[in-house]
Structure 1
Amino acid sequence: MTQHTGAPIFDADQHMYETADALTKYLPEKYSRAVQFANPDPNAVKAAASASAWSGH
């Protein structure tokens, strides 16, 4: 049974919300290009990383 607790619901998908540098702040220099940022929406930050970027291939 679902009960309302009075707390606002903001995301039911359990996404992780991190700061823009969370994926890159502590990366070694050799991985500096592993995460690339794309910004199709000025109000959102999107990051993408390929598997080959992490494996060094």
Structure 2
Amino acid sequence: MVTGHAVSEQPQGYVIVQTGETIGYEDGRIKQSPDGLYHWCSAAGAHDGRTICLFVPQRQF
């Protein structure tokens, strides 16, 4: 689990603040979070690694 401050929603997609990586909203790595919290999975569990999956809360419109 990561805090909401670790992920930023921008027009182009979700930005992983720690790595600067942008994951587009239609990217298959984005999953709906079952508990309403952000969860970030990275390669080998590294804090600066490439994103494998990102669980996000339901977007509010």
TM-score by length of 1: 0.27
Flag the structure with higher strand content.
2
- Asked which structure has the greater RCO (Cα within 8 Å, sep 6+), the reply is 2
Structure exhibiting the larger radius of gyration computed from Cα positions: 1
